[in-house]
């Protein structure tokens, strides 16, 4: 196998040839497709002659491409072929030292030959290079007189799988993308995830199914934000690990991505691995689902799902389509549970993945699904009761799908140093996990890297991963593993109301303001002023009753809006005034009188409730396991007096605050030690000052 570091440095040296016509952030436009092209060329080299011979035999028969491609693919021994007479190295022509068909053989026409070579691929490869948009780059390099140099340098690299394994190629692509994105100050992490993070996710995802996966069964996996395909590749590698004589399961992998170059790399890698029943598709997952329920290859259902969606990326461009699906299709679509705020679409990916779950029905041989997804901290707790984020968490937890969350070390990703979390979600929890959620704190399981890669300064070693997976599997309480009931993360958000208290007072200024808006009520206002007087009244209920009686005697009927205007103009809030009693209402239920604001008449029937002062409204979060009535009576009401909880407006919500469950209090140092340190520092400062002065 080739030395990884030397290979990466050699290809990066080729990129230096682009300096001038290209700026460093633009190098990827050439280097990624050329690396893929050279890999294809090396893979197809052993069967090139046979493919050309068969193509020459059939091309004059005008065989349709849909018929010819499978035939030539079979001869090539791959899911693709190239029937162009050109290749990077060419073939021996019988003369010593001479080769024919090599791209280097005709420097003056190398642009035309390279284009012909790409067009000689089967349709699936041509579609990949359309996403690379490589034709424009060929012309640009020709005009800059660097095309021949670049092609010549790539001819010196052997990228055959025997020399550079699939794992090495994956690492090579990751290194190139990271360097290119660092040069552009962009997010390399949008395209790939660190290998040890993927390994941990895959190990946990497959852990309960180890016995099943050692049998010759078929399973499907989807990554809806696959980038360069690293997660899918690692999942397949997991099943290739030595397992004695037992035959492993067949894992068909499927992916989708909206970044053209990342998609092209993932699709080309899958082609080279020969996974005939696997597929990588191009498109925006949120607006263009490439694996719908009528997809003939997958039926839109998968046994395993894995993803690292972009952190904190907004979905403004997809807003219209996503909202339309949410409003029209509800839970029949993908986003029925709710919509998160527009500046972070992570939870949309989670809903999309859950919509791809295989139902759990063993009697129908439907085995359910398991999902692992990487989030930052935001989806754990962002959004209060009633928000889209909270409603999505509520939907997942109340359906008993959330199995575990693993807190990862910081500085693990190439494009961010923030803390990340792996969520494990499934609709087929094991019996002992039902109704439970496991939190694992792996934040201190890391090793320092010898050399930072972007923001990545730490990595999880093999033992760190093994400890975390074992902790997940054992499902017991430890210092870094906590078990909770689903309800432990839920709470009721209870509105706490206080009664409105109004002081009534008539004055010329207020009278003028009211009549400016309702001049037709002049006679009534004059009567109220004369008969009820201008003395301040601290009981609005009493005054309102007197005023209504007076208006009835005068046979005056005011509209509700006019009565509201009168109260707004002639009253002001006064903490010492009597509480304003609301108009009589029908009770939808009969809760405790104190808690729900209703007060009891002498005969014990529910009659009225106080009108709340919206300016004094407050909220209390009451755990789902606590009864709201008891909590209010014991914890809230003694401190706020005549307040009450509005039972009609209670909303349940869920959030997961990791630090709350794993926080360890560290007591401060004794004052004596702190004073001693301060004295020592003061003495040093005084000593230095004396040296400067004296």
Shared domain check, 536 and 417? no
**CA-based nearest residue to 120, from 67, 152, 72, 157:** 72
Share of the chain above pLDDT 90, in %: 53
Prediction pTM value = 0.82
pLDDT of residue 596 exceeding 60, the answer is: no
- Mean pLDDT on 169-177: 75
- Mean pLDDT on 615-623: 86
Shared domain check, 32 and 132? yes
| Cα distance between residue 389 and residue 684, in whole Å | 54
Shared domain check, 538 and 444? no
Shared domain check, 144 and 31? yes
633 domain residue, yes or no = no
pLDDT of residue 13 exceeding 60, the answer is: yes
| Phi, psi dihedral angles at 79 (to 5 degrees) | -90, 10
Give me the pLDDT at residue 640, please: 60
Give bridge partners of residue 366 from the DSSP assignment.
361
- Return the top range by mean pLDDT from 243-252, 512-521, 574-583: 512-521
Shared domain check, 418 and 453? yes
Q: From the CB of residue 549, how many other CB atoms can be counted at a distance below 10 Å? A: 10
- How far is CA 379 from its chain centroid? 8
Give me the pLDDT at residue 182, please: 62
Which of the residue ranges 39-43, 69-73, 665-669 would you say has the lowest mean pLDDT?
A: 665-669
Predicted confidence band of residue 587 (pLDDT cuts 50, 70, 90): very low
pLDDT of residue 338 exceeding 50, the answer is: yes
| Cα distance between residue 271 and residue 224, in whole Å | 18
For the segment 355-410, what is each residue's pLDDT rounded down to a tens digit? Answer: 999 999 988 888 999 999 999 999 999 988 889 999 999 999 999 999 999 999 99
Q: What is the CATH number of the domain that holds 459?
A: 3.40.50.150
Q: 97-106: which pairs have CB atoms within 8 A and are 24 or more residues apart? A: 102/155, 103/151, 103/155, 104/148, 104/151, 104/152, 104/155
| Three-state SS at 475 | coil
For the segment 265-318, what is each residue's pLDDT rounded down to a tens digit? Answer: 889 888 877 677 899 999 999 999 999 999 999 999 999 999 999 887 889 999
- DSSP E strand stretches across 283-395: 304-307, 360-361, 366-367, 370-376
409 domain residue, yes or no = yes
Question: Of 544, 573, 602, at which residue does a domain stop?
Answer: 573
For the segment 66-118, what is each residue's pLDDT rounded down to a tens digit? Answer: 788 889 999 998 889 999 999 887 655 534 344 566 788 888 899 999 999 99
Shared domain check, 533 and 486? no
Q: Give the residue with greater pLDDT, 92 vs 648.
A: 648
Shared domain check, 523 and 430? no
656 domain residue, yes or no = no
Give me the pLDDT at residue 384, please: 86
Give me the pLDDT at residue 450, please: 86
Shared domain check, 203 and 153? no
Q: From the CB of residue 78, how many other CB atoms can be counted at a distance below 10 Å? A: 21
Give me the pLDDT at residue 97, please: 41
For the segment 434-444, what is each residue's pLDDT rounded down to a tens digit? Answer: 999 999 999 99
Q: Give the residue with greater pLDDT, 566 vs 93.
A: 566
What tokens were used for 512?
């003028």
- Mean pLDDT on 437-463: 89
Which of the residue ranges 87-91, 149-153, 549-553 would you say has the lowest mean pLDDT?
A: 87-91
Which of the residue ranges 99-108, 314-323, 475-484, 552-561 would you say has the lowest mean pLDDT?
A: 99-108
Beta strand pairing call for 218-223 and 304-307: parallel
683 domain residue, yes or no = no
Shared domain check, 517 and 423? no
pLDDT of residue 600 exceeding 70, the answer is: no
Shared domain check, 165 and 303? no
Give me the pLDDT at residue 588, please: 44
Residues shown for the chain: 694
Q: What is the CA radius of gyration of the chain?
A: 36
648 domain residue, yes or no = no
Query: How many structural domains is the chain composed of?
Result: 3
- Three-state helix/strand/coil letters over 256-291: EECCHHHHHHHHHHHHHHCCCCCEEEECCCCCCCCC
Question: Of 434, 466, 493, at which residue does a domain stop?
Answer: 493
Shared domain check, 351 and 325? yes
Contact (CB, 8 A) for 282 and 257:
yes
Share of the chain above pLDDT 70, in %: 89
Tokens 């030959």: give the residue.
113
Shared domain check, 522 and 429? no
Predicted confidence band of residue 125 (pLDDT cuts 50, 70, 90): very high
Q: Which residues constitute the domain of residue 304?
A: 187-493
CA–CA distance from 620 to each of 49, 383, 521, 589, 641 (Å)? 77, 16, 44, 21, 15
611 domain residue, yes or no = no
Q: Give the residue with greater pLDDT, 61 vs 149.
A: 149
Which of the residue ranges 192-206, 294-308, 646-660 would you say has the lowest mean pLDDT?
A: 646-660
- Mean pLDDT for the chain? 86
Contact (CB, 8 A) for 485 and 641:
no
Give me the pLDDT at residue 520, please: 94
- Mean pLDDT on 32-60: 89
Residues contacting 409, CB < 8 A, separation 6+: 419, 442, 443, 444, 445, 446, 458, 460
617 domain residue, yes or no = no
636 domain residue, yes or no = no
Question: Of 157, 178, 199, at which residue does a domain stop?
Answer: 178
């Amino acid at each position: 196998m080739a030395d990884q570091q030397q290979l990466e440095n050699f290809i990066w040296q080729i990129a230096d040839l682009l300096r001038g016509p290209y700026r460093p952030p633009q190098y990827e436009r050439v280097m990624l497709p050329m690396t893929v092209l050279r890999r294809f060329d090396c893979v197809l080299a052993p069967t090139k002659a046979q493919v050309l011979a068969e193509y020459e035999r059939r091309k004059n028969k005008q065989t349709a491409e849909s018929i010819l491609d499978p035939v030539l693919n079979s001869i090539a021994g791959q899911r693709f072929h190239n029937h162009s007479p050109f290749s990077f190295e060419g073939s021996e022509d019988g003369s010593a030292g001479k080769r024919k068909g090599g791209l280097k053989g005709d420097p003056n026409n190398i642009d035309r030959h390279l284009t012909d070579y790409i067009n000689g691929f089967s349709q699936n490869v041509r579609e990949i290079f359309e996403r690379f948009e490589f034709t424009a780059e060929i012309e640009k390099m020709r005009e800059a007189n660097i095309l021949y140099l670049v092609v010549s340098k790539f001819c010196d690299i052997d990228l055959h799988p025997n020399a550079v394994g699939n794992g090495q190629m994956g690492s090579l692509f990751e290194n190139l993308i990271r360097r290119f994105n660092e040069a552009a100050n962009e997010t390399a992490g949008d395209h790939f995830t660190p290998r040890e993070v993927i390994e941990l996710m895959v190990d946990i995802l497959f852990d309960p199914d180890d016995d099943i996966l050692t049998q010759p069964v078929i399973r499907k996996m989807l990554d809806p934000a696959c980038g360069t395909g690293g997660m899918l590749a690692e999942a397949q590698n997991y099943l290739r690990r030595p397992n004695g004589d037992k035959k492993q399961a067949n894992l068909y992998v499927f992916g989708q991505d909206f970044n053209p170059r990342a998609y092209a790399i993932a699709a080309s890698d899958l082609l080279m691995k020969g996974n005939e029943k696997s597929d990588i598709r191009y498109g925006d997952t949120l607006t263009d689902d490439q694996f719908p329920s009528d997809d003939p290859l997958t039926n839109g259902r998968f046994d395993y799902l894995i993803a690292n969606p972009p952190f904190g990326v907004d979905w403004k461009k997809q807003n219209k389509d996503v909202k339309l699906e949410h409003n029209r299709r509800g839970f029949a679509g993908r986003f029925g549970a709710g919509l998160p705020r527009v500046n972070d679409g992570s939870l949309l990916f989670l809903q999309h993945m859950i919509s791809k779950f295989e139902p759990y029905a063993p009697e129908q041989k439907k085995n359910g699904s398991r999902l692992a997804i990487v989030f930052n901290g935001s989806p754990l707790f962002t959004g209060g009761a009633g928000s889209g984020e909270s409603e999505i968490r509520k939907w997942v937890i109340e359906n008993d799908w959330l199995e575990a969350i693993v807190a990862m070390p910081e500085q693990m990703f190439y494009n961010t140093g923030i803390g990340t979390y792996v969520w494990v979600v499934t609709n087929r929890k094991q019996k002992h996990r039902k109704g439970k959620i496991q939190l694992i704190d792996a934040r201190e399981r890391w090793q320092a890297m010898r050399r930072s890669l972007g923001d990545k300064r730490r990595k999880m070693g093999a033992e760190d991963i093994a400890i975390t997976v074992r902790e997940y599997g054992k499902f017991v309480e430890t210092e870094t593993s906590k078990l909770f009931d689903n309800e432990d993360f839920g709470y009721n958000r209870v509105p706490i109301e206080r009664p409105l208290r109004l002081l009534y007072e008539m004055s010329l200024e207020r009278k003028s303001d009211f009549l400016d808006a309702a001049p037709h009520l002049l006679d009534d206002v004059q009567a109220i002023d004369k008969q009820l007087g201008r003395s301040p009244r601290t009981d609005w209920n009493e005054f309102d009753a007197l005023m209504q009686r007076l208006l009835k005697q005068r046979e005056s009927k005011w509209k509700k809006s006019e009565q509201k205007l009168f109260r707004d103009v002639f009253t002001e809030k006064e903490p010492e005034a009597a509480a304003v009693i609301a108009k009589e209402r029908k009770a939808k239920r009969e809760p405790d009188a104190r808690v729900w604001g209703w007060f009891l008449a002498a005969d014990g029937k529910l009659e009225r409730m106080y009108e709340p002062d919206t300016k004094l409204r407050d909220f209390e979060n009451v755990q789902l396991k606590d009864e709201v009535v008891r909590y209010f009576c014991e914890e809230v009401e003694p401190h706020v007096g005549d307040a009450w909880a509005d039972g009609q407006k209670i909303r349940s919500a869920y959030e997961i605050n990791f630090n709350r469950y794993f926080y360890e209090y560290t007591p401060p140092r004794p004052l004596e030690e702190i004073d001693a340190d301060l004295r020592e520092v003061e003495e040093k400062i005084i000593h230095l000052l004396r040296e400067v002065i004296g």
